[in-house]
Amino acid sequence: MKNRLTYRFIVLGIVVVISRIVSYEVQEIIGLCLIVLGGIPHGANDWRVDQLLSGKINLKSPSIRFFIRYLLVALGFVLVWILMPFRALIIFLVISAYHFGQSEMERILTTPENKRLPFLLWGVFALGFPLILHWGETIRYIETLTATQLPLINSTPIILITVSSILILFLLFQTASNQINGSQLGYLLTSMAILILIFSTTSLLLGFAVYFVVWHSTDAIHLQLEFINRKKKYEIKNWIKDTMPFSILAIFFLVAVMFLIEFDDVQSLGALVFIFISAITIPHMLITEKMVDSKLNA
C-alpha cells in the first residue's frame, strides 16, 4: 500500500503542475483522452476472466457467444439511454459508484460479509465529490445527455463535507469493529485527501479521468491479475497481449463515431464518450461481480 500511495502522490504533483500551465478547456480534452485510452483497456480482458469463470483455462481467444452476449448487454443499455435518458444516467451512476468502490475496497476488507455498503460509500465519494464540486459543469453535461435541466446548488460545501464525513465515519467504524486495520485506515484516508486535492485543482473531466485511470483502472487490473493467477500463470505481458486487440477495436469504433457526428463543444463530445463508456461498463461490471463472488466462494 505504501508503494501505491507514493505513486498516487507523484500523480498528484503532476496533476497540480498541469492544472497550473494548461487551460481549463485543454484539461477537459486531456481528460477525455485519458478516459478513452486509459479506461477502456481495463475492461478489454473481460473475455479471459469469463473463460476462467466458465472453467475454460487454456483457450487463446474469446468465443463468439461471449462477444454476442457482451454486445447485447451493451446495446441494451444504449437502448435505455435512447428511451429513458435520465433514468439511464441514474442507473449508471449508482452502478459506477458500486463498481468504483469494489475495485478500491475489495482487497482491503478482511471479511467477505457486508461488503456492498463499503463499496457503495467509497464509490459515492469518489464519483460524487467531483460532480458536486463542479456542479455548474455537471448540470451542463446532464442537460446534454438527458435534456433535463437541474438547478444550481448553493450549499455545495455542506454537501461535500457531508459526503466525505459519512465515508470517514464509516471507515472509523470499520476500524473499531476490526473490519480494517489501522494501516488500511491510514491508506484510505490518505487516498481520500489526495483525491480531494486532485478534484479541487483540475477540471471536472481531468480530475475524474485521473481517478478513473490511476485509481480504478489500475486496481481493477490488479484484481484481474490476482484472479487469473489463481488458475494459471499470468503476467502483465500476457494481460497486454490479451487486451491490446480489443482495446484498439473499441477505441477505433469510438473515434469513427466521433468523425461521423458533428460536435458543437466539449460537452457534446464528452456526452458521447460517457454513453459509450456506460454501455461497455454494464457487461464489464457483471463479469467483475462474478469474478469477485468466485473469489469469496473459493
d(CA 194, CA 164): 13
Which DSSP letter does residue 154 get? Answer: S
pLDDT by 10s per residue, the chain, length 298: 668 888 899 999 999 999 999 998 899 889 988 998 888 888 888 988 888 888 776 667 777 888 899 999 999 999 999 999 999 999 999 999 999 999 888 888 766 667 788 899 999 999 999 999 999 889 988 888 888 888 877 778 888 999 999 999 999 998 998 888 889 999 999 999 999 999 999 999 999 999 999 899 998 998 888 888 887 788 888 888 888 888 998 888 888 877 777 766 777 788 888 898 999 999 999 999 999 887 655 5
DSSP calls for 192-252: HHHHHHHHHHS-HHHHHHHIIIIIIIHHHHHHHHHHHHHHS---HHHHHHHHHHHHHHHHH
Q: Are 200 and 24 in contact (CB under 8 A)?
A: no
Residue-number span of the structural domain to which 187 is assigned: 2-296
Residue in this structure with the C-alpha cell 455548474, named with its chain if needed: 136
Contacts of 63 (CB under 8 A, 6+ apart): 47, 51
In the chain, how many domains are there?
1
Q: How many CB atoms lie within 10 A of CB 44?
A: 21
Which DSSP letter does residue 44 get? Answer: T
pTM tops 0.85 = yes
Residue in this structure with the C-alpha cell 465515508, named with its chain if needed: 167
d(CA 12, CA 35): 17
